[in-house]
Structure formats: C-alpha cells, structure tokens
Amino acid sequence: MKTFTLILTFIVLLSTFTTASRAIEIQQVKSDSGVTAWLVEDHSIPLIAMNFSFNGGAATDPADKAGLSQFLSGMLDEGAADMTSAQFQAAINDNSIKLGFSASQHRFDGGLQTLSVNRDIAFSLLHKALTSPRFDANPLERVRRQLLVGLENDKEKPRVISTRAWLKTMVGKDHPYARSKSGTMAGIKAITSQDLHNRAKKLLTRQGLLVAVTGDIDAKTLKQVLDQTFGDLPEKSDIKPVAEAAVLDQSKIQIIDRDIPQSIIQFGHKGIKRKDKDFVAAYVLFNIFGSGQFGSRLMEEVREKRGLSYSAYATLYPLRRAGLVFGSAATVNARVGETIQVIRDEFKKMADNGPTQAELDNAIAYLTGAYALRFDTNSKIASQLLANRKAELGIDYIKNRNSLIRAITLADVKRVAKRLLHPDQLVFTIVGKPVNVAASKN
C-alpha cells in the first residue's frame, strides 16, 4: 500500500479535534439520572453503536501502581455480578456483541456495538461490567501475565522506544506523560484486586460521563437505556488534577542505539492546546506542512523529491497539560543526517515565509470537502460525536466547522507559522544506528 498505514495514523490523531459538514441531525437525550447522550438515529441497518467516556485515566494512576487504569480496562469484561469470566465472555461471543474498554492519559473510554435484536442483553452486560465487576483471581492473574508480556514485547520496538523517549525529553521524566499508560513491570506486579475495585469506583462515575450513540434506537428507548446502564454509578468523582508540564524549549538530538537497518526519527517541539485561539489556523497550517499526504511540504521534500522515507509527517499534539508538535520519518541509517537537515530547513522555511495562497486554498478545499468522509458509517459517526464532546466543541460544531476553516486567511496562517514553528527548538529522538550524526552534549 502506498500510504495506507500513515493515513490511518493521521486520522486517529486528528479525530480528537475534529470539525464537520454533512447535515447530521444530533439529538441530545438526557436521562432521569442526569446522563446525557448525543444520538444520531438511523434505522436502515439493524445495528447500534455506543461510545462513552469517563473522566480520569492513566495520568492519575498511583506512581507505584503505574498501569492500573489500563489493567482495569482489560478486566471489566472478565466477569461481573453473577457471571464468571467464562460466562461473561460466552454471552458476549454468542450474541455477537462487541465490547471493549481503553484508558488514555485523561479519560477512560468504552465502546459497545450490537445487533439491535440483542439490545437488551448487550446493555445489561455493560451495566454489570460497569457496576459490579468481580476481578476474580484467575482472570486477574491471566490479564496480569498478558500485560507483562505486552510490556516485555514493547522493549525492543523501535517506534515505541523513540516515542516514549521523545515524550520524556519534552515533558521531563517526572511528569505523568513521561510514563506509558501501559505502566511498568513493577506497577503491574503490585496491583491487587482491591486496587482494581478502588480504581473502578473512582473512574466509573456519572460526573464527566460523555455518551454518543448511533443507529437503530430512538430517543425514548435510549433515555431508558442510559438510566439502566449508567444510572446507579456514583454521582461524583474526585480525580486529582494533573500538573501542567514544563515543555522543553531547547533543541536537542538524542540517539538510542539499536541494531536495525532503518533509523526511526521522531521530532517536534512545544505547541499549543486545543483551546488556543489560534488552534483552527494552526490545524490548517499543519495540514499544509505535515499532513503526510502528497502535496504536504514534508512529504514532498522528504519523500517525493529525495526518496528519504516512506512516510513523513508533523502534527499538532494537543495534550491537556502540554501543547506539543510531533512528527516522524524513518530512513536508512546512512541518510539520517540528510533527513534531519531537510526537516529543519522545512520548519525554517515555513516559519519565515508561511505557505502560499494556493497551498492555503488547496488545504481548505481538502479539509472542508473530506469532512463528510468521517461520517459515512454509523460507528464512525459515534466516534466523531464522542471526540467532539471530549473536546468540548458543542452540539452545533459539526454544522459550523467548515465555515471556521473557510474563515482562515493567508495572514492568519503566516502569523501562526511564525508563532508556532521553531526550527531552533527541534528535539530529535533517533532509534537506530545513524551514520555521522552526533547526539547533543546536554
């Protein structure tokens, strides 16, 4: 495939600060217990998709139990209430229900998909999983073994190594972002059944709970489903705030030696957060500069003109407590120096001169035109709705998003390029055996 993996990666990164164009009717449904959901009804296919998100995640895991939230995400479908792990898994499998949980730094997410004919059993299983998980010894030890092998497995993956090292350099070793949400061997080994119960109580509450639903269900039914599923979760949560990260503002090259034919190059510097007033202009700028699509500056200079890398991109990486700019390329060890130089030059060129009017026009045409492609399946609509809720974008955002993009002028992107791009602050993390590239002394 030409750039398939890359495009997937890109979509995932962007989905948290999305905007829109198709006429999609979103209903806001509020249950008696105060849970609100955004709903897009579509009865043409007998499926229901629900995405939901709780407040709190890996960034607030206890330091000596790092990985606790992710451990919890692997345990919620391993037995609940009157059902053992085997019984619970059999019910999921036999009714073709898709249920999964995941932890990010600040949120704890879940997704449920079901045939509408199995609606009642699906939501009843979800209710049990959320309100009375068992954490029995056998499944707990099994999941622990899986997590430990997963951590072991990550140790030699060059891309995992470089991303973690880069992030640690950017936010400092003591900030929670420097820690992987998968935790540490010691953390995973220390976690007990009681820890999981405590964590579930803390994370799975109605405060800050966001729900998005699409498919074969109407508002009235959904209202009952929300109460039945989430109504008896605790009302309040007391997740401690995460400290602001002090983002590094000095250029640096770090090299992590690995015996591989191709070096992984991850790079970036400080950036902005989602709520920054320049965010939309910056989003357009980064589409021009580093989208990873043909025509974007890095792709043209690194791949198309020089054949240095299969993929080359840079994107805004707006974490809640750290605004970052992050990019990536990978090249044969002998050409790492050349690749770094090209990337630096492109940062400088764009910071100094900004894009051309034609580049801006093309980017606006792409971003506004392709927005509809994010809404062509029910499951994609559910993820878009949830992403918009997480970013606090408001229910009308999908309607207005394209006009926000169209309002960006050349003066806006030039100003933002100057404000945002800092070739003299680029931090490069290289994993491999780069030839004739020296690591920084500091």
Partner 1 sequence: MLKLFSLPLVAFTLLMINAANAKPLNIDVTEFSLDNGMKVVVIPDHRAPVVTHMVWYKVGAADEQSGKSGIAHFLEHLLFKGTKKIAPGEFSKIISRNGGQDNAFTHLDYTGYFQRISKDRLEMVMGMEADRMQNLVLTDKDMKTERDVVKEERRTRTDNKPAQLFSEQMSAALYTAHPYGIPIIGWMSEVARLTRQDAMAFYRKYYTPSNAILVVAGDVTAKQVKALAQKHYGMLKNTATPGPRLRTIEPQPIAARRVIMTDKRVSSPYMMRQYLAPSYVTAKGNEALALDILTEVLGSGTTSRMYKKLVIEEKAAVSTGSWYSGDNMDSGTFGFYAVPASGGDLAGLEKHIDAIIADVLANGLSQQEIDRARKVLQAETVYLLDSQSSLARVFGRALVVGQSVDDILNWDDNLAAVTQQDIKQAAAKVLQIRRSVTGFLMKSPAATLAGTN
| Chain residues 101-160 in contact with partner 1, contact rule CB under 8 A | 113, 115, 138, 141-143, 145-150, 152-156, 158
Q: Does 311 bind partner 1 (CB under 8 A)?
A: yes
Q: Does 399 bind partner 1 (CB under 8 A)?
A: no
Q: Does 303 bind partner 1 (CB under 8 A)?
A: yes
Label residue 71 exposed, middle or buried (CB < 10 Å: 0-12, 13-18, 19+). buried
Question: Minimum Å distance from CB 309 to partner 1?
Answer: 5
- 3-class DSSP state of 366: helix
Single out the segment in contact with partner 1 by CB under 8 A; choices: 59-67, 86-94, 193-201, 221-229.
86-94
Q: Does 308 bind partner 1 (CB under 8 A)?
A: yes
138/341 with CB nearer partner 1? 138
Question: Minimum Å distance from CB 402 to partner 1?
Answer: 10
Contact 429, 256 (CB under 8 A): yes
The one-letter amino acid code at 296 reads: S
Greatest C-alpha distance within the chain: 66
Q: Please tell me the distance from the alpha carbon of residue 116 to that of residue 45, in angstroms, as a whole number.
A: 9
Q: Does 356 bind partner 1 (CB under 8 A)?
A: no
Q: Does 360 bind partner 1 (CB under 8 A)?
A: no
Q: Does 366 bind partner 1 (CB under 8 A)?
A: yes
Question: Minimum Å distance from CB 123 to partner 1?
Answer: 17
DSSP string for 305-342: TT---S-EEEEEEEETTEEEEEEEEEEEGGGHHHHHHH
Touching partner 1, residues 328-347 (CB under 8 A): 330-332
Q: Does 12 bind partner 1 (CB under 8 A)?
A: no
151/178 with CB nearer partner 1? 151
Single out the segment in contact with partner 1 by CB under 8 A; choices: 224-232, 314-322, 345-353, 375-383.
375-383
**Which of 9, 22, 81, 404 touches partner 1 (CB under 8 A)?**
22
Contact 75, 140 (CB under 8 A): yes
| SS3 assignment for 416-437 | HHHHHCCHHHCEEEEEECCCCC
Touching partner 1, residues 23-42 (CB under 8 A): 42
Contact 413, 285 (CB under 8 A): yes
DSSP string for 206-264: STT-EEEEEES--HHHHHHHHHHHHTTS-S---PPPPPPP----S-EEEEEE---SEEE
Single out the segment in contact with partner 1 by CB under 8 A; choices: 72-80, 166-174, 314-322, 383-391.
72-80
Question: Site map for partner 1, 194-233, x if CB under 8 A?
Answer: ----------------------------------------
Contact 331, 264 (CB under 8 A): no
Give which of 431, 350, 432, 351 is closest to 169, Cα–Cα: 431
350/382 with CB nearer partner 1? 382
**Which of 77, 109, 301, 346 touches partner 1 (CB under 8 A)?**
77
- Residue 365 CB: number of other CB atoms within 10 A? 12
147/325 with CB nearer partner 1? 147
